[in-house]
């Protein structure tokens, strides 16, 4: 597997650099992200990164724990589901609504980040990164609006800004388009299949059987 392929599926860190004292992002994202922070600061917003690069093994652990019922699963409204009452297909679909398939997470590339406004987070309140936080009256409603009005100026966008029937809308997820778009276009169904076939993925056989549908509905189905 080439280094580019390893980057695409989250099995390489050769493309990364440290940002804000520890968060890993793509090295070509550091400068534009600084500019976005400076733009935010001028508008009274303290833009912080909650999550940057996430490797394959981390994503695999999240997936396997959810597939085993060790982490809660949510419905499309963010309400907990009863794991014991779900079929295997329903478990896979519930995971994919909120968590990427290992090898298919845009966080693998270091181009995609989860962000929040630190000034809007009240002391003692835990950041959750759920849709309700940006709903009218929510702590990040104004920040979400600010993102919508300012991201394009620095060549960022929100790939999950609307509900397209796949991944749940994520107001907090931003992507640096000049670098993420080429990766997005190179992440093929065949590369994912080869990667997943060689790993210990919970419900692997069913995932591989459904992979063409998953690829279309949850991976390439983004807001552009």
Residue 191 makes CB contacts below 8 A (sequence gap 6+) with 5, 8, 9, 103
The whole-number pLDDT of residue 223 equals 95
The whole-number pLDDT of residue 78 equals 81
Number of domains in the chain: 1
The whole-number pLDDT of residue 161 equals 95
Write the pLDDT tens digit of every residue in 118-129: 999 988 889 999
Q: Is residue 95 part of a domain?
A: yes
For residue 170, give its domain range: 3-219
Q: Is residue 224 part of a domain?
A: no
Write the pLDDT tens digit of every residue in 81-103: 999 999 999 999 999 999 999 99
Alpha-carbon span 160 to 101, nearest angstrom: 15
The whole-number pLDDT of residue 22 equals 87
Q: Is residue 214 part of a domain?
A: yes
Whether the Cβ atoms of residue 108 and residue 59 lie closer than 8 Å to each other: yes
Question: Cβ of 30: how many Cβ atoms within 10 Å?
Answer: 16
Q: Is residue 205 part of a domain?
A: yes
Whether the Cβ atoms of residue 104 and residue 219 lie closer than 8 Å to each other: yes
Q: Is residue 82 part of a domain?
A: yes
Look at residue 68 and give its three-state secondary structure.
coil
- The CATH number for 207's domain is 3.30.1380.10
The whole-number pLDDT of residue 202 equals 98
pTM for the predicted model, two decimal places: 0.95
Q: Interior CA angle at 176 toward 216 and 141, to 5°? A: 90
Helix (H) or strand (E) holding 156: strand 156-157
């Amino acid at each position: 597997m080439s280094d580019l392929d390893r980057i695409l599926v989250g099995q390489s860190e050769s493309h990364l650099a440290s940002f804000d004292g520890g968060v890993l992002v793509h090295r070509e994202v550091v400068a534009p992200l600084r500019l976005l922070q400076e733009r935010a600061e001028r508008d009274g917003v303290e833009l912080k990164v909650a999550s940057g690069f996430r490797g394959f093994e981390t994503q695999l652990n999240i997936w396997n724990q959810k597939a085993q019922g060790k982490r809660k699963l949510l419905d499309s409204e963010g309400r907990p589901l009863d794991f014991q009452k779900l079929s295997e297909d329903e478990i896979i679909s519930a995971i994919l609504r909120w968590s990427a398939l290992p090898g298919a997470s845009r966080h693998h590339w270091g181009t995609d980040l989860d962000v929040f406004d630190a000034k809007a987070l009240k002391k003692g309140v835990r950041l959750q990164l759920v849709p309700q936080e940006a709903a009218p009256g929510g702590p990040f409603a104004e920040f979400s609006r600010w993102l919508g009005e300012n991201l394009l100026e620095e060549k960022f966008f929100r790939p999950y800004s609307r509900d397209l029937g796949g991944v749940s809308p994520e107001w907090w997820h931003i992507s640096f388009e000049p670098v993420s778009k080429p990766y997005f276009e190179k992440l093929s169904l065949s590369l994912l299949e080869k990667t997943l076939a060689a790993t210990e993925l919970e419900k692997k056989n069913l995932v591989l059987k459904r992979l063409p549908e998953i690829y279309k509905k949850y991976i390439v189905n983004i807001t552009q």
